[in-house]
Amino acid sequence: MKFGIITHAIHKIKDGHVYAYEPYVREMNLWGKYVDEIIIIAPVAKEEITSIESAYQHLNIKVMAIPNFDITSVKNLFKALLVIPKICWMIFTVMKNVDHIHLRCPGNIGLLGCLVQILFPSKQKTAKYAGNWDPKSKQPVTYKFQKWLLANTFLTKKIKVLVYGDWPNQSKNILPFFTASYHQTEIVEVPNKDLKEPIKLIFVGGLTIGKQPLLSVQSAHQLIKKGYNISLDIYGDGVKRLEIENYIASHQLKKHITLHGNVDKEIVKKAFQQSHFLIFISKSEGWPKVVAEAMFWSCLPISSNVSCIDYMLADNQRGSILKHNVKIEDIVIEIESYLRNKEIYKDKVLKAQNWSQKYTLDKFEKEIQKLVDV
């Protein structure tokens, strides 16, 4: 089977190997187990391979490089109009020559793929919508259009659209799905976390505006000022790093808060196993992978109510869901409530772990095989 992937993910080629963002590649390697040939349409960069990128494992793989583009300004829009016809033709050519079309959405390239696939109503297709599928959420017009087109059974035929969360009133194209990070064999018993001090907090993710990492730092600071023995470990990097470093330095918090940067996933796994709470106050998500990972290792998530968080945390039964426009005081109050009632903490941790450990890479792979073998 020839398997065609249309994606906006940046790819890199070195020594005959194809690299991209590690969590994405980890998933695509599972799809690749059940196909004979992979053809990828994606932007290609020449930069060095980073620590958060890994290689495809398939032996028969080809990348067709396309220009990356955006429409964030009038100037960029005119540039995009010059390259879009060529990209659409390349997408058409690949779709014509493969047996299974796989779209990665939302994104500019995914949007073009959604349009071109209309011309192939009899081809088998899947789409992974990695963004927020919540029909009530505020999103860019291009995202809403992709969602409408993917769900439209007249224009988009023979497709399974994998979305995060189980939403009401969806078309037959839409399949609630999940993402996994660990194999069944990786499950080990995590020592009981009885909330004895020091209380270990963790943040995992990009240090970006959307992830709001400073809120985690400020919450830890507030708890420290109230007399609690608190530590916070931050894993990830991004444009907000300098702001966080300055905050830590100006408030003499180096003994309590550590910036680790981007590290190997095994290091993050061990950190989850040792931490009591994940502080995750993101503004927008698809499947909040780090929330599921924290739950897997008995680290209780305290999260903003985005995307399918309510589904994952079962309306606060497997963690804490905070209201929109979360403030520092909200996070502090929530953590203090657990410190005062440790039995509730233990109960939620156990429920969170039991739920998350059902979604292993083994189960994920079996579900992917069903989609490919249709």
Number of domains the chain is built from: 2
CA proximity to 215, closest of 161, 153, 270, 257: 257
pLDDT of residue 373: 81
Answer yes or no: do 136 and 206 share one domain: no
Q: How many residues does the chain have?
A: 374
Contact of 44 with 63, CB cutoff 8 Å? yes
pLDDT of residue 140: 87
Answer yes or no: do 145 and 225 share one domain: no
pLDDT of residue 72: 65
Answer yes or no: do 173 and 262 share one domain: no
CATH number at residue 176: 3.40.50
Answer yes or no: do 205 and 147 share one domain: no
CA proximity to 33, closest of 293, 367, 266: 367
Answer yes or no: do 206 and 189 share one domain: yes
- Kindly report the pTM of this predicted structure: 0.84
Single-letter amino acid code for the residue at 71: I
The rounded distance, in Å, linking the Cα atoms of 310 and 305 is: 7
The rounded distance, in Å, linking the Cα atoms of 187 and 182 is: 8
Answer yes or no: do 150 and 10 share one domain: yes
CATH number at residue 349: 3.40.50.2000
Answer yes or no: do 171 and 260 share one domain: no
Answer yes or no: do 326 and 250 share one domain: yes
CB atoms within 10 A of CB 340: 10
CA 310 vs CA 292, 303, 350: distances in Å: 12, 10, 17
Q: Parallel, antiparallel, or unpaired for β 199-204 and 277-280?
A: parallel
pLDDT of residue 205: 93
pLDDT of residue 68: 80
Answer yes or no: do 176 and 203 share one domain: no
Answer yes or no: do 110 and 204 share one domain: no
Contact of 218 with 294, CB cutoff 8 Å? no
Answer yes or no: do 314 and 225 share one domain: yes
CB atoms within 10 A of CB 92: 16
Mean pLDDT per 10-residue run, the chain (374 residues)? 96 96 93 97 94 93 89 73 92 98 95 97 96 86 94 96 91 91 93 90 95 96 97 96 98 97 93 97 83 97 90 94 90 97 96 96 94 84
CB atoms within 10 A of CB 78: 10
pLDDT of residue 139: 84
Answer yes or no: do 341 and 365 share one domain: no
The rounded distance, in Å, linking the Cα atoms of 98 and 4 is: 6
pLDDT of residue 340: 95
Domain that holds residue 260: 185-356
